[in-house]
Amino acid sequence: MRYQDIKWEDEDSDFGSESNSPSTKKNPVEDISFADLLQQEKTSDDELDLRVGRQVTGVISVISPTSDIVLIELDPQHTGVMDKNQIVNEEGQLQYQVGDSIKAYVAAATADEIQLTLRMAASKVALDDLHAAKNSQLPIRGKVTAENKGGFEVTIMGKRCFCPVSQMDTRFVANKLEFMGRELDFLIEKIEEGGRNIVVSRSKLLKREAEQKIEELIARQDQEIILDGSVVDVRDYGAFVDIGGFEGFLHVSEMSYSRVNRAGEFLQKGDKVRVKLLKIEMTADGKRRISLSMKAIQEDPWATIRDSVEVAKSYKGKVMRLETFGAFVQILPGIEGLIHVSEMSWEKRVNHPQEILKVGDEVQVRVLDINDAQQKLSLSLKNVEEDPWRNADEKYAPGTQVTGTVQSLKGFGAFVQLAPGVVGLLPTEILKKAYGESFKKKASPPQEITVIVRELQLGEKKILLSLPNVEDDGDDIKAYHEYMQNQDEKVEKQKQQNTPRGTFGALLAQSLEKAKKS
């Protein structure tokens, strides 16, 4: 906690006798009665209300490293003094820093000194003070001494009070034991039956303090505000983070530069996080929405992409997701690139990446291009290996005889693999000339067959094959080119179907195609 540590006795008689004992010397601030404080006269100052019990706002100017003194500037003419132990938590850590705005109560005011306190302390007339605290809604410290079916017993100034379980915290209390024996601050809600029925609330105080903190954050939204918090709830789409008595929302897209599909894969309840305040806005139902980001205080990996990734070099990556047009692969945390289907295999045409890849696969890829401005990376799976078509014009020059393996037999011919990634087409008409109607037996996969290269189109990676001792005619060549043209048209049509309509890319492609035809 951030407040002064005060020990209360559990019995009325002990409390009274001990407070009147001459052997017990209390701080003058702690001896002030709530009733006395609220009845004190206003000082002669007309601008700043320094009546005892009044709440004032100031800025911390000094936190002494060698003493227990904290100085708070209330205005240019007035400086208040506070004990340092009031701004430290149970672990002894400072909850405020020099320059922070702070709200406090006037405990004593003289011409020489203004004493401030965050929490008013015990007095000699307990019940009167509890009434005064209730009427003024001043927070007061008590000790949780027992639990019952409906909530907790709390001892405040020697009086037994009751705090409903719903009023102990702003969130659902799943474990009552975590509050047992702790000294906490409460607001007095009800005093009845001459003090025998006193009801207190801690959640109302926490909400009030949270509202004050939120107002302070709103006033500082133009600054960079970094906060430490704790994850209190995790959903698929994000996490709710406690950042000091109130909650903000951390969307899954703001957790990391690396892709996070579900928040539970990245964060767990109870995790400590550091976040940046993005914005505070009012929702339609009148509630405040506080948006947070972890990613905003991390270094953007794309800012230094050129230092860690180079074009033409190979990297190990992980397949993150598949689309109809390709696969997205993460090669560094926060750095993903696209392997287009055309860059997946030398050996066959890939229609969908799922034919050779699945999410989670680890692959070796080569970087083809880096687009810093658009944060895009073009990758290749097949270019990691040497292009089998390299020097194909020397290996498979027209007239060359070579032995290959039949991969498949279609109605228009047999696809024959001459080498891994190099496939040629042997038309059906030539097979029929050589083998008659039994050509299917002679050219069925995976039989080996000796062929002759009839035509090589290196740029388009196409090879027309023939058979030894078979005379070709112009009709065979014509049928081959018609087939290839038909295949090219199908591929182009498929590309257009995979391109969103109306995009700049689609319009540009259509314009280029028209220009090419004309």
Report the DSSP beta bridge partners of residue 109.
114
Per-residue pLDDT at 81: 92
On the question of a common fold for 220-297 and 392-488, the answer reads: yes
DSSP 62-105: EE-SSSSEEEEEEETTEEEEEEGGGGB-TTS-BS--TT-EEEEE
> Can you tell me whether residue 263 is helix, strand or coil?
helix
Q: Where are the domains of the chain?
A: 12-117, 220-297, 302-384, 392-488
- Indicate the pairing of strand 362-371 with strand 376-380: antiparallel
Kind and range of the H or E run holding 184: strand 183-192
What pLDDT is stored for residue 163 in this prediction?
94
CATH 3.30.1330.10 fits domain 392-488: no
Statement: 220-297 belongs to CATH 2.40.30.110? no
d(CA 16, CA 18): 5
Q: Give the angle subtended at the CA of 492 by the CAs of 488 and 496, to the nearest 5°.
A: 170
> How far is Cα 300 from Cα 306, in angstroms, rounded to an integer?
12
Retrieve residue 287's tokens: 């509630």
pTM (predicted TM-score):
0.46
The stretches in the chain having pLDDT less than 50 are 1-32, 35, 37-46, 122-125, 498-509, 511-512, 515-518
Q: What is the CATH number of domain 302-384?
A: 2.40.50.140
In this structure, what is the dihedral angle of CA atoms 341, 342, 348, 352, given to the nearest 10 degrees? 20
Cα–Cα distance measured from residue 204 to residue 167, given in angstroms and rounded to the nearest whole number: 7
Tokens representing 448 are 């080996």
How many whole angstroms separate alpha carbon 104 and alpha carbon 290? 26
Distance CA 471, CA 308 (A): 58
- Distance (Å) of CA 234 to CA 206, 237, 245: 22, 8, 18
Q: With b meaning 16 or more CB within 10 Å and e meaning fewer, what string describes 183-204?
A: bbbbbbbebeeebeebbbbbbb
Quick one: which H or E segment has residue 164? Answer: strand 159-164
CATH number of 12-117: 2.40.50.140
pLDDT at residue 157, as a whole number: 81
Q: What are phi and psi of 209, to 5 degrees?
A: -65, -40
